[in-house]
Structure 1
Amino acid sequence: MRSAAVIGTGLIGTSVALALTRHGVTVHLSDTNTASARTAAAMGAGSFGLPDDPVDLAVFAVPPTRISAEVTRQQQSGLARAYTDVGSVKGRAHEDLCVFGGDPASYVGGHPLAGGERPGPLAAAADLFQGRYWVLTPSRRTEQSVFNQALELVSLCGAVPVVMDAAEHDRAVALTSHAPHLVSALMAARLAETDDQSVRISGQGLRDMTRIAGGDPGLWSEILDANAPAVADVLQAYAEDLTLAVSALRALTDTDEVQRKRSRLDLEELLRRGNTGRNRIPQKKGRTHTDLAVVQVEVSDRPGILAQLLADVGAAGVNVEDVRIEHVPDPPRGLVELLVAQSSAAALSRSLRSDGWQVQQ
């Protein structure tokens, strides 16, 4: 790949462009928001404006509902020899491309499973996709040379290619991304209507579960629009479980001990299924939650304390898979959760205690 065009210079598009320019690819940038494209160009992501001659690959980083129309328009203008996108919904893009008169032979759908909480080009990074999965959804009409260009794009961005059917992909992301985002937003919306005192005593669990609710409503309404049937199917399954949970909770006030016991068993089964599902989520290189353990360390609220803790963890020869921090206001302190391999947890706890740390678990 010697040249590329990136249409859409938000976080993902600009990150793609930065990754390509780092490998010597000549990149041309375009966006309906010219200020965004010029910002990306100033960051070294490429040159502002589309080229006169065809490029090897055009990458579309636009909302899912606009992909097909944009790809068709640029195919008809002869922008590139191959076309792909980075949208999170694939079925609609494949279907609508033919409706708009596009060429499915020169197009392959793509979806890098990476992102960030801040939008826009200033949040972009050339290594955003390093080691992350990048789904490609070629159709039966996609030419091999086009698919090869998409594979090279994934390689240059440092990602790991995964080939899927478009409909299979959309069902998967509805379950693992789109429906959870909507549920997170619904949970957070309850907080908008409650009193300040209730919000004040919220804990880390609520912060974790509502973190993704901070996403751009405009973008997410586009995503949900493009994948509405699959998301609705997941929500219908949620609704069935919620109905069961509500019934069980109401029945716990029943004076019939047999009914109360049955309701508790229903709730336990729902929670047990939750444990099972959570344990299937890969953490790192295929690891699951069952391979990992949490070591909790209480720390004082002062500058440099986290760096000191992590230095002692490193000195103990333990690799940390993830770090979570919960702040406690009175007195000001923090609870640091270190996610480590099960086999390392006991040794790490002993080492940290010997270094003077207050290890809770």
Structure 2
Amino acid sequence: MIDPSDLIDLDGLLTDGERAVRDGVREFVDTEIRPNIAGWYDRAEFPLELVPRLAELGLLGMHIEGYGCPGRSSVEYGLAALELEAGDSGLRTFVSVQGSLAMSAIAKHGTEEQKNEWLPAMAAGSVLGCFGLTEPAGGSDPGSMLTFAKKDGDGWILNGSKRWIGLASVAQVAIIWAMTDDGVRGFLVPTDTRGFTATPIAQKLSMRASIQCDVELTDLRLPGTALLPGAKGLRGPFECLNEARYGIIWGAMGAARDSYLAALDYSKERLQFGKPLAGYQLTQLKLVDMALEINKGILLALQLGRLKDAGAVQPHQISMGKLNNCREAIAICREARAMLGGNGITLDHSPLRHANNLESVRTYEGTDEIHTLILGNHITGISAFR
């Protein structure tokens, strides 16, 4: 069967194993997400009942080696992210928060004891994690964080606030980044610790089938063993953020592809002035422009995935992928919504839901402006952040 979203045989660039991973996730999305996502989105409900299935599919900590984790390649993880976000950004975000942020922080910066304690249960989905970096007044400037961890004998006392923390109200463990007298450090915080409070953020217009929270840390006491010893300074959380940004590069193209296919199908069926919308030149122009950007975006994601698997990907390359693919994806979703006319504003169709979600995806893990400046710094050698 011809794939109308693959104009250049992208499929031929994948191995049999990579296609098998993609096809398995695509089937899961088709059978368990698509029939239900409109209701979840409308009710602002995240389907926690899907977590065991996500674990069974090997999607939690997918790229991490050992400790009960699947140990799959970066390209396989990217293809899974693309298919999940074709269902909804909220589902891909869950996998990203759990694996690319919380589990990666432990895998990259934790002790052997911490890895053995947390990673197997998180890969199995029996323990959920969250990643507390962003603050109410911090946003794109985590170096200005106000959350502070004070040494107290052999332990620590944490005070501060975090905002937009995915899964915090349902997680069992939080990775909290705090300023100390020795710079920014990371801490493993069981969420049942006295002084930890997570409150879901309500009345969202985006990422409605997902959980984001405000977190308050009030005289929260931790033992010395809670410190992630391998993370010192902002490089610690940034290494985790680049894992999440990589998944977004693929995921955004999933939302774009789904919106494009929705517009294509609709334009073939919708009659105007006696013939299908697809038979008009302006419609074909829009469809062609969408398909071109989707094919280019997936090529970019695949190249970065191959570089990542070779251990050669650079931070500015991740920024290029995140900036380009989010920017193009949201334009595609908005154009697809317009092609659906008035029907496009209902949850009977996916493009506006995807476009709304991408307003968040385009913002988190670095805004367009931040990634532009990262690339500008790389190109010119001059930092323009301040």
Normalised to the residue count of structure 1, the TM-score between the two structures is 0.25
**Looking at CA atoms only, which structure, 1 or 2, has the larger radius of gyration?**
1
